[in-house]
Structure formats: structure tokens, C-alpha cells
């Protein structure tokens, strides 16, 4: 496989990525990302940031949602991007959100701290190339049926365009058993850590699909050497607009992070929580224009 930038080779053995001042991944500090599947309202995100502050290193929340049905809620979109960046500025906690197109990257890159490329887009090569030109680190999720080699080559696409800040995320692959939503492939985590110099994190939420399975899988991820976890949690999990069945409560998320501590230490790691710092924020002209176009379309409809 010609993954000259992703594979370890003879040079660099580990890549440390700075997400925000004091928040890194790939070094001793574990990256803990928590938040809802979907950004739903300001009240929801304020509560998420208030409770998770001090426990997580970054907040997640989808604003452009890849839904199986076109009739399902598609996310708060531009308004959600603005909300996420405000929440990040107010709380001092970095944020990550999924992008599905080049225009999403244009809107999100200036105002969020990390971009996420989801499973369904792992082999959207034009999107990968665009993410390679973005300024922010990219969390690249493994495709639902992607081999380890295909996953590595997808990361190579991003790096080959100049963005070397790629974080690989194992989130479960499809198999024959529908008891769990997907099968969490921790073997891939170990293999990717051995093969590549990039940070590797684990999303046990989309793998399990059931909240009661999430905590132990998260602990197992840390135990096998992952550089962090990304976990879905919500102020009222049962009422999440998407992926309700797998969402933890915010209190359970805080408890889980405490339980990670001894396992992290056993692996020579520490839990990185965000060190809130005031951030500069101004709505970019791209985001403003995009919001205006959207408002015009809504009022014309």
C-alpha cells in the first residue's frame, strides 16, 4: 500500500496534534470528546458544556446530519455552526462537527476546532481532498465496511493535500449480528497504532448502539492503547432527536471519565480535560452569507 505519509516508515513515530491551547492528542494526554449526536438547541448545548466542563477535552455535536432517511431531521445546519462556535467561545471548550461537503468545510473550518468526516464519507475522495486543504485537524471515521488498508488510504488522501493533522476513529464495522449496531474492532485500533504514526481514537457509541454497552467498551478502548474516545451523551438521552438508544446521560458520562482514570494511568496516559480560555470569535463572511441564503430560501418557501 502506498501510504507514504500515514505509515510509520523510518522517520516520525508519533504525531501529536494540538486542537486548542493546552488540548492535544497523540501524546500522553487522552482526548475525551463528548456531546450529543445532533445539536438541537442552545439550551441543550449550554447544559452539555456546563456539565461536561472539566471532564472532557472537546465537545461534539452534529449540525449537518447524514440521515438514512431524507425526511429525518437534517440538522440545524448554518445556525447550528454559529451556535456551536458560540458555545465553544463561552465555555472555552473546543468543538468538533461533521462536514459532508466542500461548502460545509468552508463554513466550519474558520469557526470550529476540528472537522469530522463520517463513516459514510470515508471514501468521498473529493471531500477528503478538500479536508486536506482545511486548516483544522480532521477526525476521520472508519467506513462501515472499510478495510484497514482502505481506512489508511483515506487518511493518505487528506495528508497528501497538506493537512497532516488527521485523527483516525474506529467506530465499529458492519457484521452479521444485529444485537449490537456494529462490531467494535479493537484489533484495528492496535493495528493502526502499530502501522501509522497518527492518533487513533474510538467511538464506542456508534459501535454498540446501546447505551449500556458503551462504558465498558470505552474502558476497553483505553486499555488497548487508543489515544482517546468520542462518546454520545445528552441532557435527556431518551429524547435525543437521533441515536437516542446509544446516548449516555451527562452524569453517566462524567462518571465514565472518572472510571477511565486508573486504566489511563495503567497505560501511562492521563485524562486531558479542557482548560477553558476565552476565545476570539467572529462570524465569518462565508457563514453569514450562507445563513442569509438559507433564510431567504426558508421565507420564500
**Which residues form the interface with ligand PEP (CB under 6 A)?**
37, 62, 66, 118-120, 141, 171, 203, 206
Residue 291 in grid coordinates: 445563513
Instruction: Tell me the C-alpha distance between 209 and 101, whole Å.
Output: 26
Residue 141 in grid coordinates: 471515521
Q: Under the criterion CB under 5 A, does residue 37 sit at the interface with Mn ion?
A: yes
Contacts of Mn ion in 1-30 (CB under 5 A) = none
Residue 225 in grid coordinates: 492503547
Name the residue nearer to ligand PEP (CB basis): 139 or 260: 139
- With CA atoms as reference, report the closest residue to 83 among 73, 72, 74, 95: 95
Q: Give the nearest residue (CB) to ligand PEP.
A: 118
Q: How far is the CB of 11 from ligand PEP (least distance, A)?
A: 31
Q: Using the rule CB under 5 A, give the single segment among 24-32, 33-41, 51-59, 179-187 that binds Mn ion.
A: 33-41
Residue 70 in grid coordinates: 431524507
Site size for Mn ion (CB under 5 A) = 2
Which one of ligand PEP, Mn ion, none is in contact with 170 (Cβ closer than 5 to 8 A by kind)? none
Question: Among residues 154, 195, 243, 264, which is the contact residue for Mn ion, using CB under 5 A?
Answer: 243
What are the b/e assignments for 12-22, b being 16+ CB within 10 Å?
eeebebebbeb
Residue whose entry in the numeric block shows the C-alpha cell 467506513: 143
Which one of Mn ion, ligand PEP, none is in contact with 185 (Cβ closer than 5 to 8 A by kind)? none
Q: Is 101 left (phi over 0), alpha (psi -120 to 50) or beta?
A: beta
Q: Under the criterion CB under 5 A, does residue 156 sit at the interface with Mn ion?
A: no
Name the residue nearer to ligand PEP (CB basis): 78 or 203: 203
Which one of ligand PEP, Mn ion, none is in contact with 182 (Cβ closer than 5 to 8 A by kind)? none
Q: How far is the CB of 279 from Mn ion (least distance, A)?
A: 26
Q: How far is the CB of 57 from ligand PEP (least distance, A)?
A: 17
Name the residue nearer to ligand PEP (CB basis): 171 or 197: 171
Name the residue nearer to Mn ion (CB basis): 3 or 52: 52
Instruction: Tell me the C-alpha distance between 73 and 246, whole Å.
Output: 18
Residue whose entry in the numeric block shows the C-alpha cell 470515508: 122
Q: Indicate the pairing of strand 29-35 with strand 228-234.
A: parallel
Are 293 and 78 contacting, i.e. CB atoms less than 8 angstroms apart? no
Where do contacts with Mn ion occur on this chain (CB under 5 A)? 37, 243
Amino acid at each position: 500500500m502506498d501510504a507514504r505519509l500515514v505509515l510509520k516508515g523510518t522517520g516520525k513515530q508519533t504525531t501529536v496534534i494540538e486542537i486548542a491551547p493546552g488540548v492535544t492528542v497523540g501524546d500522553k494526554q487522552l482526548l475525551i470528546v463528548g456531546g450529543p449526536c445532533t445539536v438541537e438547541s442552545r439550551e441543550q448545548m449550554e447544559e452539555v458544556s456546563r456539565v461536561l466542563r472539566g471532564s472532557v477535552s472537546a465537545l461534539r455535536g452534529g449540525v449537518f446530519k447524514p440521515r438514512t432517511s431524507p425526511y429525518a431531521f437534517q440538522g440545524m445546519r448554518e445556525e447550528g455552526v454559529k451556535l456551536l462556535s458560540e458555545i465553544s467561545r463561552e465555555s472555552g471548550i473546543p468543538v468538533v462537527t461533521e462536514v459532508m461537503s466542500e461548502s460545509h468545510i468552508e463554513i466550519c473550518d474558520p469557526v470550529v476546532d476540528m472537522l469530522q468526516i463520517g463513516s459514510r464519507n470515508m471514501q468521498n475522495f473529493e471531500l477528503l481532498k478538500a479536508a486536506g486543504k482545511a486548516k483544522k485537524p480532521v477526525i476521520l471515521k472508519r467506513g462501515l465496511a472499510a478495510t484497514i488498508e482502505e481506512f489508511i488510504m483515506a487518511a493518505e488522501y487528506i495528508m497528501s493535500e497538506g493537512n497532516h493533522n488527521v485523527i483516525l476513529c474506529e467506530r465499529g464495522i458492519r457484521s452479521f449480528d444485529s444485537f449490537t449496531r456494529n462490531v467494535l474492532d479493537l484489533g484495528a485500533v492496535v493495528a493502526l497504532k502499530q502501522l501509522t504514526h497518527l492518533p487513533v481514537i474510538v467511538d464506542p457509541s456508534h459501535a454498540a448502539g446501546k447505551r449500556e454497552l458503551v462504558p465498558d467498551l470505552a474502558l476497553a478502548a483505553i486499555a488497548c492503547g487508543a489515544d482517546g474516545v468520542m462518546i454520545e451523551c445528552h441532557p435527556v438521552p431518551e429524547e435525543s432527536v437521533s441515536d437516542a438508544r446509544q446516548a449516555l446521560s451527562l452524569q453517566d458520562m462524567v462518571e465514565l471519565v472518572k472510571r477511565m482514570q486508573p486504566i489511563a494511568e495503567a497505560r501511562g496516559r492521563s485524562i486531558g480535560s479542557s482548560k477553558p480560555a476565552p476565545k476570539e470569535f467572529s462570524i465569518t463572511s462565508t457563514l453569514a452569507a450562507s445563513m442569509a441564503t438559507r433564510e431567504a430560501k426558508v421565507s420564500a418557501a
